[in-house]
Amino acid sequence: MHTAPAPHLAGNYAPVETELTAYDLPVTGRIPPGLTGWYLRNGPNPHDAASGHWFFGDGMIHGVRIEAGRAVSYRNRWVRTSTFTDGAKVNDIDGTLDLTAGTANTHVVRHAGRTLALVESSYPYELTCELDTVGSYDFGGKLHTAMTAHPKTCPATGELHFFGYSLTAPYLTYHRADATGELVISRPVDVPAATMNHDFNLSANHVVFMDLPVVFDLETARSGGGMPFRWNDGYGARLGVLRRSDPYGEVRWFSIDPCYVFHTLNAHDRTSPDGHEQIVLHVMRYPELFRKDGKDAQHATLWRWTIDLTTGTVREEQLHDRPAEFPRIDDRLAGLDSRHGHATVSRTPTGAVSQGALIRYDLHDGAVTAHEFGPGRTPGEAAFVPADDRPGGDGWLMTYVYDAASDTSDLVIVDATDLAAPPVATIHLPVRVPYGFHGNWLADQPLTNGRLT
């Protein structure tokens, strides 16, 4: 008797079965000729075609190489973690903790010359420029916790800020690596339980942690298969503020309404008109998530939280009502007052939403524009690709788009300043790219007093 696959293993969630390299990809439109580098995106692709949840599949990187206006090649490669090669588990039956185990399926970033595939339960895995796996990376033996899939690079210092969370105390640890890749700070952050910390906030002067009521649930974990975290009505929600200038100092906590946030857009410091010291956070906020009965709110929308360090209060405001996720900015403005942010409207296994689109938020005047892909065309997260040396200036959004009618995928480049216009270029890929998580444009050389046209 035929059994239908689980939703997270069907349609464009279904894994691809082979690794492929293809050259001289066809293009509709015109790739900006100044672009030279890799667009890389990570996502779950179980090599045995099975996993208990979308989040748990083995990591696969999909990469397109662009050189001076040409789509030179496409390749996809599994990340060869110890789980992939040897079936290793992070927490083995004898209680041994193996942080080389895991899926490395969530993000791919570059820091201090290393390209790292990330998942929040384990060590990073280093990749070559051809997407081959070098091995797990523990910052020269200095990292002793897992690493978040959402580290943040300070554009002023080049430092990489990140954290690791654990199922045992200390549940949360903050880390900082300098611009050369040396791990220079590791300190525990006191939280009362093992909560799912997927992301955090970084401003020029502060790190802001989110202690939210999605908590590790032992009963669910023992049942196997699904997410081992559940919504907890009694846990509460709060934001923890640490001054970057005092990394081992006090973490000051601020209560907020219960909610969950997978992804933050950005944060910045400001002084209010009445002289109050404030931190402004923009996040994609779910009212609740992962209730045991499954009856929770399934969509995130853009919110602003304003932490007033002078009064000890937080103002919470919803800014837009269209469900969206995967927020991104021009990363050169991380921790600063970025006027514009972008997010993706797509479909997820937790519930269908409207047809796929990219959204551009004006965080100063509230204007919102969108690029609508039309029925059956679903984008993933879109990375911002700068067009010039001005942080927050012109640029493009780059994303994989799945076409249900043809069961194929494209890499689409859209003008970030004119979302209503047709795509600048559509690079046609030889295979379907399954829905995935996060990625980046990794330019061969950073911009230096010039413009890519």
pLDDT in tens, 70-121: 999 999 999 999 999 998 888 754 557 899 999 999 999 999 999 999 999 9
pLDDT in tens, 133-152: 999 999 999 999 999 999 99
Residue 66, in any domain of the structure: no
Domain that holds residue 266: 165-321
Residue 246, in any domain of the structure: yes
- Cis ω before 188 (30° cut-off from 0): no
Residue 137, in any domain of the structure: no
Over its C-alpha atoms, the chain yields an Rg (Å, rounded) of 21
Residue 218, in any domain of the structure: yes
Residue 241, in any domain of the structure: yes
Choose the weakest-confidence range: 41-50, 91-100, 266-275. Answer: 91-100
* Binding-site annotation, residues: 150, 198, 263, 438
How buried is residue 354: exposed, middle or buried, by Cβ count under 10 Å (0-12/13-18/19+)?
Answer: exposed
Residue 337, in any domain of the structure: no
Cα–chain-centroid distance for residue 278? 25
Q: How confident is the model at residue 225 (pLDDT cuts 50, 70, 90)?
A: low
Q: How confident is the model at residue 347 (pLDDT cuts 50, 70, 90)?
A: low
> What span, in angstroms and rounded, lies between the C-alpha atoms of 56 and 291?
19
Q: How confident is the model at residue 221 (pLDDT cuts 50, 70, 90)?
A: confident
Mean pLDDT across 212-222:
88
The total number of structural domains in the chain stands at: 1
If you ran DSSP here, which 8-state letter would residue 392 be given?
Answer: T
For residue 444, pLDDT beyond 70: yes
* Binding-site annotation, residues for Fe cation: 150, 198, 263, 438
Torsion (CA) 185, 188, 190, 193 in degrees, nearest 10: 130
Q: Which residue has the tokens 């900082």?
A: 176
Residue 184, in any domain of the structure: yes
